[in-house]
């Protein structure tokens, strides 16, 4: 985490603030922009799959066991949110690049909360969130990428997909009866269909990148035990009942099949330019800071800067300023 010792001086006492913790807070506030960007890169890289063709999911952690104080975690996330807001403002002004952020996870892994907290400081004019559930009859009359293509972010904006076209190599793979109901010509449903779709997705994301859309993908890696705990919490808490359905619990029965599908898709679609980040998601606060760090790093790689004003435009602005100053009340 930016809060980890690899990135941040951390407290050794999780029960109460000590003089050491107070000093850590002061050190946090003194971090320069350059140092923040460096730490965000260093921290996020540990969860980046890149183009690792030997990727396996079973060795990836779902939890982080640290002893940092809650206040420091909160302050670190706030710092990341502020940094994102500042960088997004430049992205919007420059109006050349766009960013597509994809969230995939098992139910109750924390996608909605991550989007809410990490992007809380972003100007709504420069950000759009799209959620994808079961396809409609109209969507089934098109190729599986069609409905997502309609929601791609414009230049200067950040687009967030809460689930995405990756569902077509996840839930459709786990429940192959869905594939048979998708109006696809039967002769095209071969043993190579998943490899073909991986290839299509890689090419699609390469196309986006070549046209100025950077794709960042997050798999929130929650453990089965933690998902169970969160499901029970949703049942016990009346304010969270709406989040839970019997279908969610039923999908737990296919946990191993989903983990295999996730491992396959990450291994086959993670590239250097459109990487997957496998984020430990049992601790929501930790996951949010890891996500913020990866996005900050991606934005920094774009070398963003505010548009430069021409000498003629600058002279015009100075004339306007002069006229305003000379304006009589």
The one-digit pLDDT tens for each residue of the chain (329 residues) are: 333 433 343 333 333 444 444 444 455 456 788 888 888 999 999 999 999 999 999 989 999 866 556 677 778 888 899 999 999 999 999 999 999 999 999 999 999 999 999 999 999 999 999 999 999 999 999 999 999 999 999 999 999 999 999 999 999 999 999 998 899 999 999 999 999 999 999 999 999 999 999 999 999 999 999 999 999 999 999 988 888 888 888 999 999 999 999 999 999 999 999 999 999 999 999 999 999 999 999 999 998 999 998 999 999 999 999 999 998 76
Look at residue 75 in the predicted model and tell me its pLDDT.
Answer: 82
Look at residue 69 in the predicted model and tell me its pLDDT.
Answer: 60
Return the bridge partners of 102, or none: 161, 217
DSSP 150: T
Report the distance separating Cα 263 and Cα 278, nearest Å: 10
Among 280, 275, 253, 282, residue whose Cα is nearest residue 108: 282
Half-sphere exposure of 124 (CA within 13 A, CB side): 1
Look at residue 165 in the predicted model and tell me its pLDDT.
Answer: 98
Look at residue 73 in the predicted model and tell me its pLDDT.
Answer: 75
H helix and E strand count, the chain: 14, 5
Helix or strand (DSSP H, E) at 219: strand 213-221
Look at residue 246 in the predicted model and tell me its pLDDT.
Answer: 85
CB 116 within 8 A of CB 156: no
Among 133, 174, 128, residue whose Cα is nearest residue 152: 128
> 275-300 b/e with 16+ CB inside 10 Å = b?
bbbbbbbbbbbbbbbbbbbbbbbbbb
Look at residue 78 in the predicted model and tell me its pLDDT.
Answer: 87
Report the distance separating Cα 201 and Cα 106, nearest Å: 20
Q: Which two tokens stand for residue 48?
A: 């980046």
CB within 8 A of 93, min separation 6: which ones?
156, 306, 307
Report the distance separating Cα 87 and Cα 79, nearest Å: 12
pTM over 0.85: yes
Chain-centre distance for alpha carbon 37: 17
Look at residue 309 in the predicted model and tell me its pLDDT.
Answer: 87
Distances (CA, A) of 209 to 90, 215, 238, 255, 273: 19, 7, 44, 32, 7
């Amino acid at each position: 985490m930016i809060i980890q010792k690899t990135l941040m001086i951390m407290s050794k006492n999780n029960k109460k603030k000590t003089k050491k913790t107070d000093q850590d807070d002061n050190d946090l506030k003194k971090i320069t922009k350059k140092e923040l960007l460096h730490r965000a890169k260093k921290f996020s890289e540990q969860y980046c799959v890149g183009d690792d063709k030997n990727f396996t999911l079973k060795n990836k952690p779902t939890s982080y066991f640290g002893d940092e104080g809650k206040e420091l975690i909160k302050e670190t996330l706030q710092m990341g949110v502020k940094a994102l807001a500042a960088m997004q403002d430049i992205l919007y002004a420059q109006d050349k690049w766009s960013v597509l952020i994809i969230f995939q996870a098992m139910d109750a892994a924390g996608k909605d909360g991550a989007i809410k907290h990490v992007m809380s400081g972003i100007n709504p004019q420069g950000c759009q969130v799209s959620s994808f559930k079961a396809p409609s009859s109209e969507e089934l009359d098109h190729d599986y990428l069609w409905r997502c293509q309609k929601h791609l972010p414009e230049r200067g904006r950040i687009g967030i997909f809460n689930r995405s076209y990756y569902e077509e190599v996840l839930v459709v793979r786990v429940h192959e009866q869905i594939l048979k109901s998708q109006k696809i010509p039967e002769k095209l449903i071969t043993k190579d269909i998943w490899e073909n779709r991986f290839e299509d997705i890689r090419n699609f994301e390469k196309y986006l990148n070549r046209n100025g859309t950077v794709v960042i993908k997050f798999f929130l890696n929650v453990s089965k035990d933690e998902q169970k705990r969160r499901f029970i919490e949703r049942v016990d808490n009346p304010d969270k009942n709406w989040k839970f359905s019997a279908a969610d619990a039923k999908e737990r029965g296919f946990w191993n099949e989903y983990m295999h599908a996730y491992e396959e898709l990450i291994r086959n679609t993670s590239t250097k330019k459109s990487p997957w980040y496998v984020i430990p998601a049992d601790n929501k606060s930790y996951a949010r800071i890891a996500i913020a760090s990866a996005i900050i790093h991606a934005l920094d790689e774009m070398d963003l800067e505010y548009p430069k004003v021409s000498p003629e435009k600058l002279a015009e602005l100075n004339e306007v300023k002069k006229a305003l100053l000379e304006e009589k009340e």
